[in-house]
Chains A and B, each alone.
Chain A
Amino acid sequence: MNTDLIIGILNIVLISTTPLVFAGIGELVTEKSGVLNLGLEGLMLVGAVTGFITLVLTGNYFYSLFFSIISGVILSGIFAFLVLNLMTNQIATGLALTIFGIGLSAMLGKKFSGTPIEGLNPYFFILISFLLVFLVSYFLSKTKSGLIIRAVGENHNSAYALGYNVIKTRYMTIIFGGVMSSIAGFYISICYAPMWQEGMTAGRGWIALALVVFATWKPWRLLVGAYIFGGVAIMQMNLQAIGVKLPGQFFNMMPYLATIIVLVFISSNKLRLKLSAPASLNISFEKNQ
């Protein structure tokens, strides 16, 4: 193999993995505070479509990113209100958010499907994604606010008894996760593709969720996991290029199969999973018990 090819492959891996890092790190923070948000796929799609439409209408990348983020704040805010104030089932509410997001993005984007745009250079966001992992890791382990988030995620009743505002903390982490997902969506439709197509995130939101489990809720492991995953996803193209004879569909299903295999590998150590998962994950906090 020559160096050009290797650099080329690394470049593709970098570009294609970044949305997983954004969505994954956002969800990691949300889950650290004890909330499971299964709505990533919907958040990403709506983020992607609002960014795209804004860019087509205004031609301004800043506005495009801004409105994409706003869409994430609004949608994750609704999710937060339901699971925190109305104490709804987090799994069902997340699914509702995904279905709603799939529908909303398809409805809004119909007119714009196929409109050509000039893509944005992805390297700035790639850099940010690395920085973000560093910041989140530092924030969670070294700052007081990070400690409060972890306390709320481990035992919300104790955290509440100590005087921390569980609901407010969780609002913050849910909205942070929502914003990160919508940035991931923005990146896909503006930098990576660049275009809009119905359902274009192709399950990346779910893969990001799997990555959080794979990372056992640790930011740096999430980064490593995302890149292993991105590498596997890209390997399919190269295997095809080298001339491995298999129908294309079998290469296409590799990322999903890889996710399952990795999950099995991580989860089979029951104790380790139990020790690293936030203890209050997916449990509603009821103040007036």
Chain B
Amino acid sequence: MISIKLREEYSNLIFYLSPLVAVFLTLFFGSFIFLILDLSPIESFKIFFISPISNSYGISELFVKATPLAIIALGLSYCFKNNIYNIGAEGQLTMGAIFGGGIGILFNDSTSIFLLPFMILFGAIGGAFWATIPAILKTKFNTNEILTSLMLTYVALFILDYFVVGPWKDPAGYGLPKSVPFPDAGRLPVLFDGLRIHIGVYFALIICFISYIVYNKTLFGFKLRVSGLSSKASQYAGFKYKNLIFYTFIISGACAGLAGLFEVSGPIGLLYRDISPNYGFTAIIVAFLGRLNPIGIILSSLLIALTYLGAEDAQLFLKIPSAVGFVFQGLVLFFLLGTDFLNKYKVSIS
């Protein structure tokens, strides 16, 4: 007989252990996917999770992928802690790339050292601006932020499309839908010659550090936690819930915009249609898997970045579509949510 009882005391150990359990369950079920595809699970896992990071180039690529994921997820953690579901980070990322990248295109002959800082600033502003729209609609008109932020993602993608096939199209680009390359002054410095890992990594770590301080040492962090647990309690305590919604949206939008700018001024170097392989959506998983904890998010961003690299290698060497990466990401979130059950309930077999 299996008995299920509500836990009287919250277990921190299980809370932080359950992501690991979820990852192991994902690997277990993932091996069935490989078996169905007629591949050896052990060989496949090697190609998926080990060979991509077995040299310095691979490790650099891991950080290239993890940087945008971590930055976006750190921003989203503010929203999610407050029980606000901004799922339009992909659109905010795109807007950041348009705003920041636009500076790099308009001042294409610039050699000024101020160009890059301005691009970064405008990237963050672009993302924050796009996130303000669902925030206003939520606070003024009571509109569901999940749907509006998502719809705005589609709108942002069409705006980017408009610019790269229209006014910002490279005249020397053989008619391809892409902009002129940014000038050297507008490119994000790399950390090591010959590798793509760039200074965005430092930004991710700084945002992680700041978030840690904010969550644990400031009144704002306390308000977020309270209103996340109960918006009524926060209102009784006199916290302005609407302001909190605004701030969290702006923080997460600015982070997503920053990540978008880093992508285009870092690894890509110009604007074109497909600037992001779903980073904005995947970052939602990163945030949950990291338990909305800044350090946890850094760790989970590395793990999820590995699924991107692994999926690319799997496409190359195993001839399976790279979308298998998204399957793993979906599975890991399923299992994580499922194992949360153990946080709330004590299961015993007698």
A95/B6 in contact, CB under 8 A? no
For residue A120, CB closer than 8 A to chain B, the reply is no
Contact mask A93-111 → B, CB, 8 Å, 1/0?
1011101111111110010
For residue B20, CB closer than 8 A to chain A, the reply is no
The 8 Å CB contact of A86, one of B141, B161, B165, B341, is B341
Which residues in A have their C-beta under 8 angstroms from that of B281?
99
Which of A11-19, A25-33, A216-224, A263-271 lies at the interface? A263-271
**In whole angstroms, what is the CA distance A270 to B144 when docked?**
12
Which residues in A have their C-beta under 8 angstroms from that of B320?
107
The 8 Å CB contact of B341, one of A88, A101, A253, is A88
How many A residues face the partner with a CB closer than 8 A? 48
For residue A203, CB closer than 8 A to chain B, the reply is yes
Interface residues of B in 261-304 (CB under 8 A from A): 281-282, 284-285, 288
Which residues in A have their C-beta under 8 angstroms from that of B208?
none
- CB nearest neighbor in B for A213: B144
Which of B9-17, B119-127, B190-198, B331-339 lies at the interface? B331-339
Which residues in B have their C-beta under 8 angstroms from that of A86?
337-338, 340-341
- B322 CB, min distance to chain A CBs, angstroms: 8
Which residues in A have their C-beta under 8 angstroms from that of B154?
202-203, 253, 256
Q: A95-B333, A99-B333, A263-B143 are in contact. Are A250 and B285 (CB under 8 A)?
A: no
**In whole angstroms, what is the CA distance A256 to B323 when docked?**
26
Which of B65-73, B110-118, B145-153, B222-230 lies at the interface? B145-153
Which residues in B have their C-beta under 8 angstroms from that of A253?
154-155, 158-159
Which residues in B have their C-beta under 8 angstroms from that of A252?
158
B323/A249 in contact, CB under 8 A? no
For residue A210, CB closer than 8 A to chain B, the reply is yes
Q: A107-B324, A247-B162 are in contact. Are A270 and B142 (CB under 8 A)?
A: yes
The 8 Å CB contact of B147, one of A99, A213, A249, is A213
Which residues in A have their C-beta under 8 angstroms from that of B147?
206, 209-210, 213, 259-260, 263
- B3 CB, min distance to chain A CBs, angstroms: 10
For residue A257, CB closer than 8 A to chain B, the reply is yes
B323/A267 in contact, CB under 8 A? no
- CB nearest neighbor in A for B324: A107
**In whole angstroms, what is the CA distance A78 to B137 when docked?**
33
B341/A103 in contact, CB under 8 A? no
**In whole angstroms, what is the CA distance A101 to B284 when docked?**
15
Which residues in A have their C-beta under 8 angstroms from that of B150?
203, 206
Which residues in B have their C-beta under 8 angstroms from that of A9?
none
**In whole angstroms, what is the CA distance A209 to B145 when docked?**
13
B155/A104 in contact, CB under 8 A? no
A92/B333 in contact, CB under 8 A? yes
The 8 Å CB contact of B337, one of A88, A104, A270, is A88
**In whole angstroms, what is the CA distance A103 to B338 when docked?**
20
- CB nearest neighbor in B for A209: B147
B143/A267 in contact, CB under 8 A? yes
- B99 CB, min distance to chain A CBs, angstroms: 17
Which residues in B have their C-beta under 8 angstroms from that of A202?
154
For residue A89, CB closer than 8 A to chain B, the reply is yes
**In whole angstroms, what is the CA distance A91 to B145 when docked?**
12
B344/A103 in contact, CB under 8 A? no
A104/B137 in contact, CB under 8 A? no
- CB nearest neighbor in A for B282: A99
For residue B330, CB closer than 8 A to chain A, the reply is yes
For residue A183, CB closer than 8 A to chain B, the reply is no
What are 29 pairs between A and B in contact, CB < 8 Å? Answer: A42-B330, A82-B338, A91-B146, A95-B284, A97-B330, A99-B333, A100-B327, A103-B324, A103-B325, A105-B323, A107-B323, A107-B326, A110-B321, A110-B323, A203-B150, A210-B151, A213-B147, A249-B159, A249-B161, A259-B147, A259-B151, A260-B148, A260-B151, A263-B143, A263-B147, A264-B148, A267-B144, A273-B142, A288-B6
Ranked nearest first, the 7 interchain pairs of A and B with the lowest CB-CB distance are A100-B330, A103-B326, A106-B323, A96-B333, A110-B321, A103-B327, A88-B337
Which B residues contact A (CB, under 8 angstroms)?
4-6, 85, 87, 137, 140-144, 146-148, 150-152, 154-155, 158-159, 161-162, 165-166, 281-282, 284-285, 288, 320-321, 323-331, 333-334, 337-338, 340-341, 344
